[in-house]
Structure 1
Amino acid sequence: MASVSHQPWWKEAVVYQVYPASFKDSKGDGIGDIQGLVSKLDYIKDLGVDVVWLSPMFKSPQVDMGYDISDYEDVHEPFGNLADMDELIDALHQRGMKLILDLVINHCSDQHAWFQESRSSRDNPKRDWYIWRPPTYDSKGNRQPPNNWRASFGGSVWEWDQRTEEYYLHYFAKEQPDFNWDNAETRKAIYNSAIRFWLDKGVDGFRVDTVNKYSKPAEFPDAPITDPSSPWQFAYPLFCNGPRIHEYLKEMVREAMDPYGDVMTVGELPCTPDAKEILRYVSAREHELNMVFHFDMVYTGMGTIRKYIPEPFDLRDVKTALAKWQCFIQDTDMWTTSFAENHDSARSISRFASDAPEYRAQSSKMLALMLTTLTGTLFIYQGQEIGMVNIPRDWPLEEYKDLETRNFFALMKEKTKNDPKEMSAAMDGIAYLARDHARTPMQWNDSLNAGFSVGNPWMRVHDNYREINVEKQINDDTSPLQFWKRLLRFRKTHKNLFIYGRFTEYDHENTALFTYTKSLDDNANPSLGETKEVKKALVCLNFSGVRQKIFLPEDCQSHTLELAISTNIGRVDGDNLEPYEGRVYWTQ
């Protein structure tokens, strides 16, 4: 890896994702808002965060929690208004922090004025801003969609429009029609409304939603039949990474972002397992995206055909997922990300460690130690820093709000004829994997509604808020919150090693321990922020509920090991790791 001197600001940034509806309500209506976020900026700053990523706060009917945007230049009224956004941007900049927004431009809401025009008639000037196709007909003369692709939330990707008697394409909900990026006029309008408008206000970058879906195939061939029980088939390999996607991204960055300086971009890039394809998106020479989220770890254990039907996995799968992208960027001009949670995933403690009361704090700290010692820009999701966990299994479906969750349940109910055993298994999957787990209100204290709101929250507060909350942890040196603060200082102090260092994994077949080293290349500059010249660190993580003997790699055995940090404050037991304990050693 090249010298770490003179690196872009976003490489060393710690990013904190805020889901606005669930973070902090300032008005008492049960819905989080921008002023609530402003009131907690000092808390976020004190954590050690450099950048806030604010999930969609744009005007929206909220069919898909704001990812159905009806006006890119306005704010969803319960969240606030444009003046509130101006105040947020100024307040962050005054604290030396930055703001990135979600850039949702593969699709918009069917209530957007552009789509309303497009669907008004076949000869409307904006008709071609979206993807319209005539029906096909089966052997019996019945009208059918243009192909058999399944939408992300279930059903066909095509929705029949009775007024103009054509289908429009939507990869997500039917209320989220896809833009036609082949139309240059459409692209120009998107750049002006969704990008330049916010950069002019002082926003510092974007998390780019579903970035590999803009370019559609010239034809729309049927997908292979992988689910014979359904007319709609898994088609992601056909509609991701289309023929003109890199042309469009280069144009977008060149025309809409470059004039504003070093705009941060991190792409959501699902269903792109080919490392060579990733290179085309994030190589600095390509000048498209700064980095992307690699979902290999987050997707571990999710069903291939239906994501909420879990598949078995063990720690080796997690290690493979992380090592793939840690190693791939080495000796390249690419960059990567370190994360384990976001608004679309279940809580990492419940997924990869243990959310049992006796282990959840340790699990939280162990996962934090892993994330902060991996190469790449670090992303933290709200509540992760206090160890929030999944919704309890006994919550009924009525407590789940997400469209994807409800559609999955309805589909399984139909397919199994509401068989009690099958539906119980479906709820097991939801309780393990649903996106709702990340969306319960932030747990600030043990007062009414966890201090999130004095009103009735839009989504039920987790039952454990009296045990897990910010106020309880903020002065407890052994808490996950305080450990996160300590880790973020530790990571920045030794940034050359942990943010930029070379990753080497050991003992891969071990299903309890994750062991790796981070080391400096000979040409790295150890003077940048280092308090001592540390060339190599050994990271030892116990992912089990049983004490484990540390695995010592052969190339570390001849060195003196010095304990740098541990999840067990003041009670480190020699060569043995306690359940869900993690340690970092300097090895000289």
Structure 2
Amino acid sequence: MEKVWWKESVVYQIYPRSFMDSNGDGIGDIQGIISKLDHLKDLGIDIIWLSPVYKSPNDDNGYDISDYKDIMDEFGTMADWEELLAQIHNRGMKLIMDLVVNHSSDEHEWFIEAKKSKDNPYRDYYIWRKGKDGKEPNNWESCFSGSAWKYDETTDEYFLHLFSKKQPDLNWENPTLRGEVYDMMKWWLDKGIDGFRMDVINFISKVDGLPDGEPQEGKKYVSGAPYFMNGPKIHEYLQEMHQQALSGYDVMTVGEMPGVSPEQAQLYTDEQCKEVNMVFQFEHVDLDSGPNGKWDLKPLDLKDLKWSLSRWQKGLEKAGWNSLYWNNHDQPRIVSRFGDDQNYHNESAKMLATLLHMMKGTPYIYQGEEIGMTNVKFDSIDDYRDIEILNMYKEKVEAGVPVKDIMKSIYVKGRDNARTPVQWNSSENAGFTTGTPWIKVNPNYREINAEKVVADSNSIYHYYRKLIQLRKQHEIIVYGDYDILHEDHPQVFAYTRTLGNEKLVVVCNFYGEDTTFELPEDLSSKHNTLLISNYNVEESEAISQIALRPYEARVYKLS
């Protein structure tokens, strides 16, 4: 397996709207990011992934792009962005940008032209169909609820939107459109960026004919996923993208790919295939969803998590590469989700970080994760901003679901949990803005904030710093093979990493009760080095049998 910089790096995702506001308008911006770069450098970050900062009407917080080569006014100017890139590079860090090319905004000039007539040169940049029997062309449901089609009176046809009505899907069958995308990518690469995170990139190839999804009793619209996830030409398009846009640059690419299996991910990320370096898959963050999707809450079963993470570790062991993440702008806060943010906030946040960062793959940290930010419970739906939450709420209220049940789902799974402003200090609005924030700050900012955790050597922040340092000091953490231990232990997630004659043992108590862990006899060793732990541990303590405290995590190097 080739050794390359992006395998040895740690990535930090910035969601700019919520990171830091420099001008008091309540919206995070590029100058705000620049002002906090030293926080990320001190943490040990190698790569910053910047969520979209392009021109956008903000129907889906920047993932609806109206101009791929300009900066959103609220965030600043192209000169601000160029300064950001220079400041990141001056600190020895790299920058990857979001690439959102499954869809554009309906306010993009391509779509404005496409709507004018059926013979407009831009018409075929999007996916248009005639209605069937006075209804939509098929029964596909949008990822944001309702039909995936919108009727356009001017031309008496429907256009496809797998997300919001203001996010029409681009037609990747059109070679001219693909050429426009590749030219745009090279334009950014020539500015000096270090790669792309590709939004729902495995949706770009649709099955010919766009057939109906499997009908479901009582549902007007159903998932069309089998006909657009990992579609028939996806590998052809990604290989062409590599050849036409990426091949001349030393960059990193990560493809967001819902519904991808380890076998498919191996093809996408195999170094011989020349597609993407790694994928974001969602299996492990869907394990607490019931049969009716993310809003159907069910408790996480640790055995499911062990099975999922282990099959991805083993599936991409020899070919391909894993991305490692708990949090992002679409996921609730992990310490509230799989940890205990009330009774064992510090311990469970550290345990979850240990479990992830010691695995094989490139770790991603989402803004605020390193300071232990938690989910939020706003009293009113009026305080929420996310289109997915608002659409779901409206749909469920109309269906007669009690508001308290809807709000419970939002508290646990809503995307706005990740989008409350970063808590920098204990001053008003957590130091994020001098104005009124675009979304309310989590009320716990006086207890949980960056200033406080940076000053506390026992904090979650300093634990993350140490995890990142260990990764740079021990090649085994990057390249060692993974093997699970005691797969059936109901409370402990433990595994080994092996590289040549070196071996690490990672032991994590996943729950808030004491438990015991016995090291397999073949791993017994006279000399063990404790690399990191989230409780005080005696160096001389024997590890053949370990009494683990609530959410305790330990990593030993065996020799």
Q: TM-score range by the shorter chain?
A: over 0.9
Match of residue 212 from structure 1? 202
* Partner Cα separation in structure 2 for residue 344 and residue 554 of structure 1: 42
* Partner Cα separation in structure 2 for residue 492 and residue 304 of structure 1: 41
Q: Does 1:341 align with 2:331?
A: no
* Partner Cα separation in structure 2 for residue 431 and residue 59 of structure 1: 30
- Which residue, out of 278, 282, 285, partners 1:298? 285
- Which residue, out of 190, 197, 205, partners 1:200? 190
Match of residue 71 from structure 1? 67
Match of residue 232 from structure 1? 221
* Residues 259, 281 of structure 2: 8 Å contact kept: no
Normalising by the residue count of structure 2, what TM-score does the alignment of the two structures yield?
0.97
Aligned ranges 1:542-553 → 2 under 5 Å = 542-553=509-520
Match of residue 520 from structure 1? 499
Q: Does 1:271 align with 2:256?
A: no
How far has the Cα of 1:225 moved from its partner?
Answer: 2.2
Match of residue 407 from structure 1? 391
Percent sequence identity over matched residues?
Answer: 46
- Which residue, out of 18, 26, 32, partners 2:14? 18
Match of residue 491 from structure 1? 471
How far has the Cα of 1:373 moved from its partner?
Answer: 0.5
Query: Match of 1:363, as an amino acid?
Result: S
* Partner Cα separation in structure 2 for residue 464 and residue 31 of structure 1: 20
Match of residue 140 from structure 1? none
Query: What SS class does the counterpart of residue 154 from structure 2 fall into?
Result: coil
Match of residue 386 from structure 1? 371
* Partner Cα separation in structure 1 for residue 140 and residue 298 of structure 2: 23
Aligned ranges 1:89-100 → 2 under 5 Å = 89-100=85-96
Kindly tell me: are residues 395 and 254 of structure 1, through their superposed partners in 2, closer, same or farther at Cα, counting changes over 3 Å?
same
Query: Match of 1:461, as an amino acid?
Result: V
Query: What SS class does the counterpart of residue 518 from structure 1 fall into?
Result: strand
- Which residue, out of 239, 245, 258, partners 2:247? 258
* Partner Cα separation in structure 1 for residue 71 and residue 413 of structure 2: 30
Match of residue 311 from structure 1? 298
- Which residue, out of 241, 249, 274, partners 2:238? 249
Kindly tell me: are residues 38 and 230 of structure 1, through their superposed partners in 2, closer, same or farther at Cα, counting changes over 3 Å?
same
Query: What SS class does the counterpart of residue 136 from structure 1 fall into?
Result: coil
Query: What SS class does the counterpart of residue 73 from structure 1 fall into?
Result: strand
Q: Does 1:469 align with 2:449?
A: yes
Residues 61-94 of structure 1, C-alpha deviation per residue, up to 9 Å, x if partnerless?
0000100000000011010010011001111111
- Which residue, out of 455, 458, 483, partners 2:438? 458
Query: What SS class does the counterpart of residue 470 from structure 2 fall into?
Result: helix
- When structure 1 is superposed on structure 2, of 280-289 and 305-314 the one drifting more is 305-314
Match of residue 270 from structure 2? 283
Match of residue 98 from structure 2? 102
* Residues 102, 169 of structure 2: 8 Å contact kept: yes
* Partner Cα separation in structure 2 for residue 580 and residue 74 of structure 1: 46
* Partner Cα separation in structure 2 for residue 570 and residue 548 of structure 1: 16
* Partner Cα separation in structure 1 for residue 247 and residue 371 of structure 2: 37
Match of residue 37 from structure 2? 41
- Which residue, out of 313, 316, 337, partners 1:351? 337
Match of residue 361 from structure 2? 376
Query: What SS class does the counterpart of residue 272 from structure 2 fall into?
Result: coil
* Residues 150, 160 of structure 2: 8 Å contact kept: yes
* Residues 50, 98 of structure 2: 8 Å contact kept: yes
Residues 378-415 of structure 1, C-alpha deviation per residue, up to 9 Å, x if partnerless?
110000001111113x5321221100011111111112
How far has the Cα of 1:120 moved from its partner?
Answer: 0.8
* Residues 29, 74 of structure 2: 8 Å contact kept: yes
Query: What SS class does the counterpart of residue 479 from structure 2 fall into?
Result: coil
* Residues 103, 168 of structure 2: 8 Å contact kept: yes
* Partner Cα separation in structure 2 for residue 374 and residue 353 of structure 1: 18
* Partner Cα separation in structure 2 for residue 500 and residue 391 of structure 1: 37
Match of residue 504 from structure 1? 483
- When structure 1 is superposed on structure 2, of 45-54 and 544-553 the one drifting more is 544-553
Match of residue 164 from structure 1? 155
* Partner Cα separation in structure 1 for residue 300 and residue 463 of structure 2: 28
Match of residue 563 from structure 1? 530
* Residues 234, 305 of structure 1: 8 Å contact kept: no
How far has the Cα of 1:229 moved from its partner?
Answer: 2.2
Match of residue 172 from structure 2? 181
* Partner Cα separation in structure 2 for residue 402 and residue 510 of structure 1: 39
**In the comparison of the two structures, how many residue pairs are matched?**
555
How far has the Cα of 1:306 moved from its partner?
Answer: 3.1
Query: What SS class does the counterpart of residue 505 from structure 1 fall into?
Result: strand
Please tell me the root mean square deviation across aligned C-alpha atoms, in Å: 1.4
Structure 1: segments with no counterpart, 5+ residues = 138-142, 523-534
Query: Match of 2:348, as an amino acid?
Result: S
How far has the Cα of 1:555 moved from its partner?
Answer: 2.1
How far has the Cα of 1:367 moved from its partner?
Answer: 1.0
* Partner Cα separation in structure 2 for residue 253 and residue 388 of structure 1: 37
* Residues 302, 433 of structure 1: 8 Å contact kept: no
Normalising by the residue count of structure 1, what TM-score does the alignment of the two structures yield?
0.92
* Residues 361, 479 of structure 1: 8 Å contact kept: yes
Query: What SS class does the counterpart of residue 308 from structure 1 fall into?
Result: strand
Structure 2: segments with no counterpart, 5+ residues = none
Match of residue 411 from structure 2? 431
How far has the Cα of 1:511 moved from its partner?
Answer: 2.5
Query: Match of 2:306, as an amino acid?
Result: K
- When structure 1 is superposed on structure 2, of 342-351 and 552-561 the one drifting more is 552-561
* Residues 426, 449 of structure 2: 8 Å contact kept: yes
